[in-house]
Amino acid sequence: MADAALARVAQLWSLLDEMAENEPQAYRRLLQQQRAEAERFCAPPEPHLCLQARPAGVAAGPLFINLCSWKRVPAPKGPTDPIPVSAGPLEEVSGEGDLYSIIDIAYNPDVLQRGEENPEKMEHLIHLTLKFIEERCNLILSHLYTIESFKLKGSLEMMQQRLKGRQMPTPHLSQNTQKELTLDQLLHSVEAEDCSNAPVVLKEESITQSKVHLIEEMTSTDMPEKPSTPVYEMITVKDANEKPLKIELKIELPKVSSVSECDLRLSKDDLIIEVPKKYKLQLDLPELVDEETTTAVFNKGKQELSITVLVANPDP
């Protein structure tokens, strides 16, 4: 397999050298196309709007759906073709007195722009999204949903990290492909190495006059192992007048041997602690805090991380 890939790369370079010498204009156009494609592929997902839905018949908290715009996701080829979508994992987030789930769904910017221009198309897209999540996550969602005033639930960095775990597939070449390949075939062959070509297609009954009834998820067989949520305890320390003074958080990390393995990010209202491939915890803080006062201590004997941060003084 590796020898075949190296042979295709060698043949690709040979054809590129030949094109540069004999067809310089075509060679420049090819470089421009590849550069534009690279910029599209490297562009990060951006928040567009946030929905709140609730699983039917379940006492758990609400489900927040981050609808994101991502140039890496292809646009549908035509009005009757499936709408490509990239989805992150469904995650449960728990804080003090607060429990909810979150999932990130990304579409091509053109798809979301058409929805902004036509409310019926946006409503149809949201309906398809809810049906897709039900199928993908084995849920039954209430028909009622809310469009939140904010565009994103959680942090931008975590949303982008969750979605970037999904790789866009490109078609594999058949094993029976002839040995002499064209330049275009070789380019697609190199791009397709180690990718999956098995999209998940969700059919949906028509709810409007639109002819778009399909969503197609772009999947990957190379998904990293999902980190687990560690056991933790969060306490708000108050004075005699019940005024919040500080927040103390203890997190059990039995698989961690050094604080250098931990990545701690804190904002005024949320906290993220991550140990790559082991743990990930995202919490909404019960009070606004002063990030500059944060202290973190890792106890190697107990394998426990203790975090203390002062509550921010209210603005006068």
User: Which residue type, as a one-letter code, is found at position 107?
Assistant: Y
- 31 assigned to some structural domain: no
**pLDDT score for 78:** 79
Q: Strand 98-107 relative to strand 83-87: parallel, antiparallel, unpaired?
A: antiparallel
- 67 assigned to some structural domain: yes
**pLDDT score for 36:** 59
Phi, psi at 199, each rounded to 5°: -70, 150
Same domain, 158 and 288: no
Same domain, 220 and 236: no
Same domain, 276 and 148: no
Domain of 259, CATH number, reads: 2.60.40.790
Same domain, 236 and 220: no
Same domain, 286 and 210: no
| CA 191-195-198 angle, 5° bins | 125
- 241 assigned to some structural domain: yes
Domain that holds residue 303: 232-310
- 2 assigned to some structural domain: yes
User: Which residue type, as a one-letter code, is found at position 281?
Assistant: L
Q: Strand 63-69 relative to strand 304-310: parallel, antiparallel, unpaired?
A: unpaired
Same domain, 112 and 66: yes
Same domain, 128 and 189: yes
Tokens found for residue 210: 């639109």
Question: Which of 224, 240, 274 lies at the terminal end of a domain, its last residue?
Answer: 224
Tell me which residues of the chain have a pLDDT lower than 50. 1, 166-181, 189-213, 220-223
Q: Strand 83-87 relative to strand 214-217: parallel, antiparallel, unpaired?
A: parallel
Q: Is 303 left (phi over 0), alpha (psi -120 to 50) or beta?
A: left
Per-residue pLDDT tens over the stretch 84-112: 888 989 988 876 667 888 999 999 999 99
Cα 262 versus chain centre, distance? 21
**pLDDT score for 211:** 39
**pLDDT score for 174:** 36
Same domain, 178 and 262: no
Question: Which of 177, 195, 224 lies at the terminal end of a domain, its last residue?
Answer: 224
Question: Which of 158, 189, 224 lies at the terminal end of a domain, its last residue?
Answer: 224
- 219 assigned to some structural domain: yes
Q: 192: Cβ–Cβ under 8 A, 6 or more apart, which residues? A: 169, 170, 171, 172, 173
Burial class (CB in 10 A: 0-12, 13-18, 19+), 165: middle
Same domain, 52 and 95: yes
- 122 assigned to some structural domain: yes
Q: How far apart are CA 277 and CA 157, in angstroms?
A: 17
Q: How far apart are CA 273 and CA 194, in angstroms?
A: 31
Same domain, 198 and 266: no
The domain tally of the chain equals 2
Same domain, 129 and 270: no
**pLDDT score for 223:** 46
- 302 assigned to some structural domain: yes
Same domain, 168 and 283: no
Tokens found for residue 92: 């449960």
- 37 assigned to some structural domain: no
